[in-house]
Amino acid sequence: MIGVLGLEDGTRVEGVGFGAPGVVSGELVFATVISGYEEAMTDPSYRGQLLMFTYPLMGNYGVSGDNFQSDRIGPTAIVCREIWDRPLHHRSRRTISQFLEEEGIPGIFRLDTRMLTIKIRDQGAMRAALAVGERSEVSGEDVVAIARDQPEISTLDLISAVSCPSPRRIPGEGPKVVMIDLGIKKSILDSMRSRGFDIVVLPSNATVSEIEGYEPDALFISNGPGDPKQATDAIEAVKHFAGERPIYGICLGLQVICLALGAETYKLKFGHHGGNQPVKDLATGVVRITSQNHNFALRPDSAEGTGLKITQVNANDGTVEGIRSNYLGVEAVQYHPEARPGPLCTRDRFFGTVAKEIEARRR
């Protein structure tokens, strides 16, 4: 098979198609992870996007399924420089090509991902389309037209497609936490479960009355795809419970909390996607390496007057990475503490703080 990738600016590149044949569209973004492609490919926050890896080789240790972050592939398509379809790792159960084919997701490799990454850094994330199939079935001109015709990602409700369809419980002996699923990663649930919380996971459209029915000790807003303004029900829930119960959030959850409390968000030029984002703690000056996957961020000056304090910033571009309000009982981070890619683990620091604060407020 061949693959043809088209961008809204008229760029058209041809490569080798793999995975499932078909034509898909979305926003093209790049991720800077060197390993961890299993986790990235199954991250629900990539919904509606074509995921391009900057590291030149993917698939070299196969696909085991042990590190999946959800039960399906998140991105619309995968874009790589090269793939390796003869992995020898003892945990591998299938190749990356087999994984995409079984999931019905197309991919393309053997193209210049460096050129595409530089283009996105210069011009911003772009609408794109990918066609994979036999040469007689694929038209480069068509994919550019498809890329240009699709709506902006900010207008799409991507959250409902990745949220759980109905409530579920993960029992524990500790405080009860209601987690609003906007596209939650498995590793976040694992991190909360390991601390003994009695967890109730609710769909993204859960109402205030439904949440109150579980009598939670705290509310947790998860990560997820797209524009936080689309999470209307979660925003209303935060507005209702702020100051009444502790509220925590990760990634999209931070943005939802900020919107609910009167702050503003904006779309980043090309987002933060990868495992090497430096985050500076403003109180200690310590910089930690973090894993991130988001396209939107808090507008810093809009936090004034909301009761929110900015606690962490990105050391590369100064974007907001952490917020807190002692008065309202709110804390959230823009990065993924559960992913812990750096030598200084952020998981215990964040989730340990969550556990201590919820327990203290129960007394």
pLDDT-derived band at 139 (thresholds 50, 70, 90) equals: confident
Q: Is 255 annotated as a binding residue?
A: yes
CATH node for 2-150: 3.50.30.20
pLDDT in tens, 201-221: 999 999 999 999 999 999 999
Rounded Cα–Cα distance for residues 125 and 31 (Å) = 12
pLDDT in tens, 267-317: 999 999 998 899 999 999 999 999 999 999 999 999 999 999 999 999 999
pLDDT in tens, 27-54: 999 999 988 999 999 999 999 999 999 9
> If you write DSSP's letter for every residue of 193-231 in order, what string do you get?
HTTT-EEEEE-TT--HHHHHHT--SEEEE---SS-GGG-
pLDDT at 345: 67
pLDDT in tens, 215-274: 999 999 999 999 999 999 999 999 999 999 999 999 999 999 999 999 999 999 999 999
Work out the number of other CB atoms within 10 angstroms of the CB of residue 112.
12
134-138-144 Cα angle (round to 5): 155
Could you tell me the residue ranges of all domains in the chain?
2-150, 159-362
pLDDT in tens, 159-208: 999 999 999 999 999 999 999 999 999 999 999 999 999 999 999 999 99
What pTM was estimated for this model as a whole?
Answer: 0.95
Identify the weakest region by mean pLDDT among 13-17, 114-118, 345-349: 345-349
2-150 and 159-362 agree in CATH topology: no
Q: Is 296 annotated as a binding residue?
A: yes
- Average pLDDT (151-159) is 95
**Nearest to residue 348, comparing CAs of 223, 175, 195, 235?**
195
Kindly tell me the sign of the dihedral angle through the C-alpha atoms of 151, 273, 45, 352.
Answer: negative
Q: Is 18 annotated as a binding residue?
A: no
Exposure b/e, 20-32, CB count within 10 A at least 16 = b: bbebbbbbbbbbe
Rounded Cα–Cα distance for residues 96 and 86 (Å) = 10
Query: Two tokens at 125?
Result: 């994330």
The amino acid at 46:
Y
Whether the per-residue pLDDT at 60 is higher than 90: the answer is yes
Rounded Cα–Cα distance for residues 240 and 238 (Å) = 5
pLDDT at 30: 97
The average confidence (pLDDT) of the chain is 94
Sort 331 into a burial class: Cβ within 10 Å, 0-12 / 13-18 / 19+: buried
Query: Two tokens at 11?
Result: 């760029």
DSSP 63: B
Tokens 């990634």, residue located: 251
pLDDT-derived band at 346 (thresholds 50, 70, 90) equals: confident
Fold topology of 159-362: Rossmann fold (3.40.50)
Q: Is 45 annotated as a binding residue?
A: yes
3-state class of 27 per DSSP?
A: strand
Q: Is 293 annotated as a binding residue?
A: yes
Query: Two tokens at 248?
Result: 């925590």
Tell which phi-psi region holds residue 19, choosing left (phi > 0), alpha (psi between -120 and 50) or beta: left
State the SS3 of 64-129.
CCCCCCCCCCCCCEEECCEECCCCCCCCCCECHHHHHHHHCCEEEECCCHHHHHHHHHHHCCEEEE
pLDDT at 349: 83
Between residues 138 and 329, the one the model is more confident about: 329
Between residues 343 and 186, the one the model is more confident about: 186
- Average pLDDT (116-126) is 97
- Active centre residues (catalytic): 251, 336, 338
Share of the chain above pLDDT 90, in %: 89
pLDDT-derived band at 361 (thresholds 50, 70, 90) equals: confident
- Average pLDDT (315-320) is 97
Whether the per-residue pLDDT at 109 is higher than 90: the answer is yes
**Nearest to residue 188, comparing CAs of 304, 354, 303, 312?**
354
